[in-house]
Amino acid sequence: MLIVQKFGGTSVGNLDRIANVAKRVSESKKAGNDVVVVVSAMSGETNKLVGYAEHFSSNPSKAEMDMLLSSGERVTASLLSIALNEMGHSSVAMTGRKAGIITDTSHTKARIKKINPELMNSEIKDGKIIVVAGFQGVNSQGDITTLGRGGSDLSAVAIAGAIGADLCEIYTDVSGIYTTDPRIEPKAKKLNNISYDEMLELASLGAKVLQNRSVEMAKKLNVNLVTRTSFSYEEGTLITKEENIMEAPLVSGIALDKNQARISLMGVKDKPGIASDIFNKLAKAEVNIDVIIQNTAHDGTTNIDFTVPVSDLSEAKLVVDLFVENGDIKDDSYNEKICKVSVVGVGMKSHAGVAARAFSTMAEENININMISTSEIKVSMVIDEKYAELAVRSLHNAYELDK
Interface ranges with its own copies (CB under 8 A):
15, 18-19, 22, 49, 52-53, 55-57, 60-61, 63-65, 67-68, 70-72, 74-75, 77-79, 81-83, 85-86, 91-93, 95, 97-98, 142-144
The distance of closest approach from Cβ of residue 399 to its own copies in the complex, given in angstroms and rounded to an integer, is 48
Closer by beta carbon to its own copies, 12 or else 223: 12
The distance of closest approach from Cβ of residue 231 to its own copies in the complex, given in angstroms and rounded to an integer, is 20
* 316, 322, 324, 329: CA torsion to nearest 10: -80
Closer by beta carbon to its own copies, 81 or else 361: 81
Residue type at 36?
V
- Spatial contact of 145 and 204, defined as CB atoms under 8 Å apart: no
Closer by beta carbon to its own copies, 152 or else 214: 152
Spatial separation of the C-alpha atoms in residues 107 and 119, rounded to whole Å: 25
The distance of closest approach from Cβ of residue 65 to its own copies in the complex, given in angstroms and rounded to an integer, is 7
Closer by beta carbon to its own copies, 72 or else 176: 72
The distance of closest approach from Cβ of residue 13 to its own copies in the complex, given in angstroms and rounded to an integer, is 13
What residues contact residue 122 under an 8 Å CB cut-off, 6+ apart? none
Closer by beta carbon to its own copies, 90 or else 311: 90
The distance of closest approach from Cβ of residue 56 to its own copies in the complex, given in angstroms and rounded to an integer, is 4
* 138, 144, 147, 152: CA torsion to nearest 10: 90
The distance of closest approach from Cβ of residue 71 to its own copies in the complex, given in angstroms and rounded to an integer, is 4
Alpha helices in 87-209 (DSSP H): 118-125, 151-163, 196-201, 203-206
Spatial separation of the C-alpha atoms in residues 339 and 384, rounded to whole Å: 6
Closer by beta carbon to its own copies, 4 or else 132: 132
| SS3 state of residue 339 | strand
**Helices H / strands E in the chain, number of each:** 12, 20
Closer by beta carbon to its own copies, 105 or else 368: 105
151-163 and 118-125 helices, crossing angle to 10°: 70
Compute the C-alpha angle 400/395/229, nearest 5°. Answer: 70
The distance of closest approach from Cβ of residue 89 to its own copies in the complex, given in angstroms and rounded to an integer, is 11
The distance of closest approach from Cβ of residue 55 to its own copies in the complex, given in angstroms and rounded to an integer, is 5
| SS3 state of residue 190 | strand
Task: Specify which residues 190 forms β-bridges with.
Answer: 178
Spatial separation of the C-alpha atoms in residues 186 and 44, rounded to whole Å: 30
Closer by beta carbon to its own copies, 18 or else 371: 18
Spatial separation of the C-alpha atoms in residues 180 and 345, rounded to whole Å: 12
